[in-house]
Structures are given as structure tokens and as C-alpha cells.
Amino acid sequence: MRIYVASPLGFSEAGRHFYYGVIIPALEAQGHDVVDPWKLTSPEKIEMATQLSYGTAKRDAWKILNAEIADNNREAIDQSDAVFAVLDGVDVDSGTASEIGYAFAKGKKILGYRGDFRLSADNEGAIVNLQVENFILQSGGSIIARMTELPHALRQITPGG
């Protein structure tokens, strides 16, 4: 399968360490083609916008780049078979939640990962935000708590698995 990875982990050094050291290799080890949205947009463009001085030029550059990033991610989800979504944090990252909703609307399978043991649900009947969780479960996916559960969870959403 072609799997898009939705997560906020690319924003921090610690997150990138887990993302590139654990998540991406674990998905690839199961024989899947991984789509990394953090590599879909030119790092040079991002660096250029980041280096601009505060003000109108920086704001305008980010507006253009934001649209490009969003379009790249949407197209990548469209071309993927499934989404692997990182659900860690006090609340699910808003960008990740948006990608989950979009993937669900497009009929993609979604597999969630929540290795964070803190409570983050709307009530005792959910693991995370009830709408996010419902999209994942209704897609035919599940939410795992440990990366060691990944092979079994992927088999459940893989055609013929």
C-alpha cells in the first residue's frame, strides 16, 4: 500500500527523531510505500520564508507557501491508499485531524497511533477526540498504542491482509 503519514512530528527535533528513526522505518519494513508530507515541499522554499524579516513580505511569502504545502499534502492523500496518523499530544494536532477528516471523506483507510498515555478524549468512551476516533474506526482502521502493534494493524487494513 501507499501510506501517507499525518503528524506534527516534523516541527521539532525530538519529533523528527521518532518520525524518521521509528515510524517511517517501521512502515517501510512492512513493505509499504511511505508518503512523507514533510518532504513534499522544497526545503529551500521553507527556509527562504523562514529567513525573511518580520513584516508584510514574510506574511505574503508564507501565504503563498502555505497554499502550496496544503495542495501538495491533499494531492498526496488523494494518491495514497491509507493514512497513518500520529495522535499524540494533549489534543490531536489540528493539521493531522484535518488530514484524517479529508482521508475519511475520500474513502481512505486510516490507522491511528497514540503512544501518549495522557488522557485526551471527550469522555471515557473515547481515546481521542470522538470525531477523529470515529473517522478512523469507520474507515476500517484502528488506533494502536505501541509500534509493536503496527504489523497486525496494517494487515487488518491491507487488501487481502
pTM of the full predicted structure?
Answer: 0.94
User: 120 — phi, psi (to 5°)?
Assistant: -150, 25
Which pLDDT belongs to residue 125? 93
Beta strands at 143-144 and 82-86: parallel, antiparallel or unpaired: unpaired
For residue 34 the three cell numbers come to 511511505
- Cβ-proximal residues to 116 (8 Å cutoff; 6+ apart), any chain: 87, 88, 89
Q: Is 86 exposed, middle or buried (0-12, 13-18, 19+ CB in 10 A)?
A: buried
* Residue 5 contacts residue 28 (beta carbons within 8 Å): no
Per residue in 95-120, pLDDT (tens digit) is: 999 999 999 999 999 999 999 999 89
pLDDT tens-digit map of 77-90? 999 999 999 999 99
DSSP strand E in the chain: where? 2-6, 33-35, 82-86, 109-113, 143-144
Residue 14, exposed/middle/buried by CB under 10 A (0-12, 13-18, 19+)?
exposed
Distance in Å from the first CA to the final CA of the chain: 11
Q: What domains does the chain contain, in order, with CATH numbers?
A: 2-157 (3.40.50.450)
Q: What is the pLDDT along the chain (161 residues), one digit of tens a residue?
A: 999 999 999 999 999 999 999 999 999 999 999 999 999 999 999 999 999 999 999 999 999 999 999 999 999 999 999 999 999 999 999 999 999 999 999 999 999 999 999 989 989 999 999 999 999 999 999 999 999 999 999 999 987 66
pLDDT, position 161: 64
C-alpha cell at position 8: 506534527
Is residue 130 within 8 Å of 122, Cβ to Cβ?
yes
